[in-house]
Amino acid sequence: MTVRVLAMAALALAVASTAAHAADPRYPDWPCTQAKVPDISLAAVWAGPPLDDVQNKWKDDAKISALVAKLSARKTPLDEAEKSVKEFLAASATDKTANAKLLFAGLFDTLNAQRSQVMSGLERVSRKQREAADKIREDTLALQALQGATPRDEAKVEALSNELIWKTRIFEDRHKVVRFVCEVPTTIDQRLFALGRVIQQEME
């Protein structure tokens, strides 16, 4: 069993080493292969009229605030969100431009905040993974020393083997989750761009 344990630990350490090597030196805790872009640029997702005059005013409109919450939720399919935008603006009549600006300002603020929260979470997990990798490395060396000791304490070898298996599995599970969550900021970018495009089209 100890050979398998050491193989698992070696795999975990290889994953940790690869992740560390791939990290952008400007963002040492960023664990994703995707480049870290701290904030979405308004100019990259909005070519409509300036939003300076609306800013946080969208929060004062209960209907728009509720719609922003629905459209920003990842559980809301994008096609459904786009349909809701069209229906809302079609019913806006003379206030269409004002409502469109308020709606996008709300989406921009909310999705940017979501994105920042996800990215901060990823970096927290990355720091935990680095600490876990250091501990796995220490335990692997300790296990090798116990295996080579004379006389060999089988109870200690067994206990440390089991501990190393547990730590390695946690490390690998976190790694899989990180890989999945690394896609989320890009998904948020795409949602904001798509909804911004629909809003602008409906304003024309």
In this predicted model, what pLDDT tens digit does every residue of 105-159 receive, in sequence order?
999 999 999 999 999 999 999 999 989 988 988 888 888 888 888 888 889 988 9
Amino acid 108: pLDDT? 95
Give the number of other CB atoms < 10 A from CB of residue 26: 9
Amino acid 152: pLDDT? 86
Tokens read off for 142 = 């300790």
Amino acid 94: pLDDT? 73
DSSP 3-state helix, strand, coil percentages of the chain (rounded to 5)? 80, 0, 20
Looking at the chain, the number of H-run helices and the number of E-run strands are: 7, 0
Q: Which residues contact 18 (CB under 8 A, 6 or more apart)?
A: none
pLDDT less than 70: residues of the chain: 1-23
Amino acid 56: pLDDT? 83
Amino acid 14: pLDDT? 55
Torsion region of 103: left, alpha or beta (phi above 0 gives left; psi -120 to 50 gives alpha) = alpha
Gap between the Cα atoms of 190 and 115, Å rounded:
12
> Within 13 A of 110's CA, how many CA atoms are on the CB side?
22
Amino acid 204: pLDDT? 74
Q: What is the residue extent of each domain of the chain?
A: 2-203
pTM for this predicted structure: 0.82
Contact yes or no for 132/163 (Cβ under 8 A): no
Amino acid 88: pLDDT? 93
